[in-house]
């Protein structure tokens, strides 16, 4: 079989994974000895840890090659069940999309690999697998989840409510998709009612935890708690003062900021009374612009720390 056919199999699984969570998901593909597709699937990282072993078991005498988008590691995989199932199957080759830093991965999988007689290789074209492993890598390396902050302000830099963006083209679907992909949500008091209104008709994900930020000093402990439960992608809907706190304390990896000219003087006064944030300064010297777009009368800008830059265009090119 042509190598491009194999990439096509991987892309199908990776496309499903990135739809589930663009920052923290796992994809896998089972192929036979001719590299023909047997089955594929994906899940959010930390969920459905027994699904892959069960899939292997279903095709144990047929499967020859196994692709996994990230190197298996504790908390995100049931390692004993996975390795036992592989040993009992006809798998001869395992292909890893993203290899974890040996300093952050536990010993179980590498030790098992050294004794397993089959071939283990690292994909030469990681692309999307790197992107969807960001949450896993961050949690393993820093014991914190990948954090995406969503903020909104007027031209003076003062916070505006999410309600003021509801009418802008694509904003509702953006928020709904982001919440669907997250494993936990934090929301500042300023945005709590707006977010509840936006999500009131959405089916609640049973795995999705939600926390209100009452004190910025508690944010890190909430994130540590999320990490302890292997919830590796957290979305924070924050006012500008909270965003500044997240940036100053290195608690955010990615920012999706919205800017809109609010013409209502009454609304502007209420914002000023609430948090006095028209003078909030964000320390963005070490941040890089990933993309920007227009949503109706609102601009949407996505930023990432330069040390954690995600080339979304490159990822899309590799996927295509």
SS3 at position 305: strand
**pLDDT, tens digit, for every residue of 284-306?**
999 999 999 998 889 999 999 87
CATH of the domain at 162: 3.40.430.10
Q: Which domain holds residue 61?
A: 3-133
Quick one: 159 and 93 in the same domain? no
**pLDDT, tens digit, for every residue of 46-88?**
887 889 999 999 999 999 999 999 999 999 999 999 999 999 9
Quick one: 270 and 166 in the same domain? yes
Whether 80 maps to a domain, the answer reads yes
Quick one: 192 and 116 in the same domain? no
Across the chain, the runs of DSSP E, i.e. the strands, are 25-31, 37-44, 65-70, 93-98, 119-122, 146-153, 184-188, 209-213, 233-237, 254-260, 287-295, 298-305
Quick one: 93 and 149 in the same domain? no
Whether 138 maps to a domain, the answer reads no
User: Does residue 125 carry a pLDDT above 90?
Assistant: no
Quick one: 115 and 180 in the same domain? no
* Among the ranges given (5-9, 58-62, 134-138, 303-307), the one the predictor scored with the smallest mean pLDDT: 5-9
Quick one: 79 and 156 in the same domain? no
pLDDT of residue 118: 96
pLDDT of residue 143: 96
**pLDDT, tens digit, for every residue of 143-186?**
999 999 999 999 888 999 999 999 899 999 999 999 999 999 99
Quick one: 148 and 294 in the same domain? yes
Quick one: 181 and 207 in the same domain? yes
Q: Which two structure tokens, joined as six digits, stand for 138? A: 């961050």
The pTM for the full model equals 0.88
Residues ≥6 apart with Cβ < 8 Å to 163: 193, 194, 197
pLDDT of residue 267: 47
The C-alpha angle with vertex 18 and arms to 77 and 133, in degrees rounded to 5, equals: 45
DSSP code per residue over 69-102 = EE---BTTB-HHHHHHHHHHS---EEEEEEPPPT
Whether 220 maps to a domain, the answer reads yes
């Amino acid at each position: 079989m042509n190598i491009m056919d194999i990439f096509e199999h991987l892309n199908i699984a990776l496309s499903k994974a990135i739809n589930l969570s663009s920052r923290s998901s796992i994809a896998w593909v089972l192929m036979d000895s001719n590299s023909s597709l047997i089955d594929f699937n994906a899940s959010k990282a930390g969920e459905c840890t027994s699904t892959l072993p069960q899939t292997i078991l279903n095709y144990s005498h047929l499967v020859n090659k196994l692709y996994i988008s990230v190197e298996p590691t504790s908390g995100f995989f049931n390692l004993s069940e996975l390795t036992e199932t592989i040993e009992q199957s006809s798998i001869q080759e395992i292909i890893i999309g993203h290899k974890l830093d040996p300093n952050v991965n536990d010993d179980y999988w590498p030790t098992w690999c050294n004794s397993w007689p089959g071939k283990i290789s690292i994909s030469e074209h990681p692309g999307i697998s790197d992107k969807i492993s960001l949450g896993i890598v961050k949690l393993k390396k820093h014991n914190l989840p990948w954090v995406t902050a969503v903020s909104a302000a007027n031209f003076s830099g003062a916070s505006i409510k999410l309600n003021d963006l509801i009418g802008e083209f694509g904003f509702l679907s953006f928020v709904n998709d982001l919440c669907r992909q997250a494993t936990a949500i934090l929301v500042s008091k300023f945005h709590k009612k707006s977010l509840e209104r936006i999500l009131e008709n959405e089916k609640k994900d049973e795995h999705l935890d939600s926390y209100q930020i009452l004190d910025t000093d508690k944010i890190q402990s909430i994130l540590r708690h999320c990490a302890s439960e292997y919830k590796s992608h957290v979305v924070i809907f924050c006012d500008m003062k909270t965003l500044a706190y997240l940036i100053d304390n290195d608690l955010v990896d990615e920012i999706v900021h919205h800017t809109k000219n609010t013409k209502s003087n009454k609304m502007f006064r209420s914002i000023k009374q609430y948090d006095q944030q028209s003078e909030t300064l964000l320390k963005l010297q070490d941040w890089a612009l990933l993309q920007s777009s227009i949503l109706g009368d609102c601009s949407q800008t996505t930023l990432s720390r330069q040390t954690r830059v995600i080339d979304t265009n490159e990822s899309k090119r590799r996927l295509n």
